[in-house]
Amino acid sequence: CSILILNGPNLNLLGTRQPEVYGPTTLADIEALCQAKATDLGIDLTFAQSNHEGELVDMLHDARGIHAGIVLNAGAYTHTSVALMDAISSIMVPVIELHLSNIHAREAFRQKSYIAPVAVGQICGFGAAGYPLAMDALLSYIGEAA
């Protein structure tokens, strides 16, 4: 089984980007954490990041037939992107929505998610620890492991 963890805009700057909001962990640290967990679970993991909306759409399309499911932290596109919502609706690959911060406890504009209505579910507010939690949630959903 193979899964995709896809990260959107500005998440390449984790570690130095507003650490009071997003924590001190870099995206490379998070990738290492996720790869170690994937090894434990005996699954293949592709970990990717893009700052470009269309590239994220392409990566969602390309998951078809390759990945059993996707963990998506769409960053700010969460709150703006009908294109990402439509892509998720079109691919027939389950998506878990993920955020480091608790978007429901932040500015009003972050409380609207275009991803939530088309995702299996959402994990937010647990910082970097949310990534392995989201992997567990995805594998539980697709029936691969607990």
Please state whether beta strands 44-49 and 95-99 pair in parallel, antiparallel, or not at all (unpaired).
unpaired
Question: Using CB under 6 A as the criterion, which residues of the chain lie in contact with ligand DQA when the complex forms?
Answer: 10, 73, 75-76, 78, 99-101, 103, 110
Q: Which CB sits closer to ligand DQA, 60 or 100?
A: 100
Residue 122: which of 78, 65, 59, 63 has the closest Cα? 78
106 labeled binding residue: no
Does 12 belong to an annotated binding site? no
Tell me whether residue 7 or residue 57 sits nearer to ligand DQA (CB atom).
Answer: 7
Is residue 51 a contact partner of residue 77, using CB atoms and an 8 Å limit? no
The nearest distance, CB 65 to ligand DQA, in angstroms, is 27
110 is in an annotated binding site: yes
- From the CB of 42, what's the least distance to ligand DQA, in Å? 27
Compute and round to an integer the Cα radius of gyration of the chain: 14
Q: Write down the catalytic residue from 22, 77, 114, 131.
A: 22
Query: CA 133 to CA 76: how far, in whole Å?
Result: 21
Q: Say if CB 88 and CB 60 are below 8 A apart.
A: yes
**Is 90 known to sit in a ligand binding site?**
no
Active site residue 131: no
For residues 129 and 33, give the distance between their C-alpha atoms in angstroms, rounded to a whole number. Answer: 9
Q: Please enumerate, by residue number, every residue annotated as part of a binding site.
A: 73, 79, 86, 100-101, 110
- Catalytic center residues: 22, 99
